[in-house]
Amino acid sequence: MDNRQTEFEAMAMPHLDAAYSLARWLSRSPTDAEDIVQEAMLRAFRAFDAVRGETVRPWLMAIVRNCFRDHNAKARRHEPASETVLEHLVFDGPSPEAEALGASERRRLDRMLALLPDDYREVLLLREMEDMSYREISEAIGAPIGTVMSRLARARALLKDKWLAEDAR
Partner 1 sequence: MTCAEIERTSAFLDGELDASAGAEAERHIETCKHCQALVAVAGEASEALRGRAARLRAPASLRARIAQNLADEAKVVRLTSLRPVRRQFWLGAASGVGASAIAAALALAVMVLPAAESLTASLVDDHVQALSSGQTIAVVSSNHHTVKPWFAGRAPLSPPVSDFAGEGFALAGGRVDWVAGGKAAVVVYRHGGHEIDLYVWPSQAVAPPRRSERRGYHVVSWRARDLTLAAVSDVQSDELDRFVRLVQTAVE
Question: Which residues have a Cβ under 8 Å from the Cβ of 140 and sit 6 or more positions away?
Answer: 58, 61, 62, 65, 126, 132
Among 72-80, 81-89, 120-128, the segment contacting partner 1 (CB under 8 A): 120-128
CA distances from 28 to 53, 91, 134, 137 (A): 32, 9, 24, 20
CA distances from 126 to 4, 23, 97, 121, 133 (A): 28, 11, 24, 9, 9
User: Which of 27, 113, 120, 122 lies at the binding interface for partner 1 (CB under 8 A)?
Assistant: 113
Q: Does 163 bind partner 1 (CB under 8 A)?
A: yes
Residue numbers of the site for partner 1 (CB under 8 A)? Answer: 1-2, 4-5, 8-9, 13, 16-22, 24-25, 34, 37-38, 40-47, 49-51, 54, 59, 62-63, 66-67, 91-92, 95, 99-101, 106, 109-110, 113, 124-125, 127-130, 133-134, 139, 142, 149-150, 152-154, 156-157, 159-161, 163-164
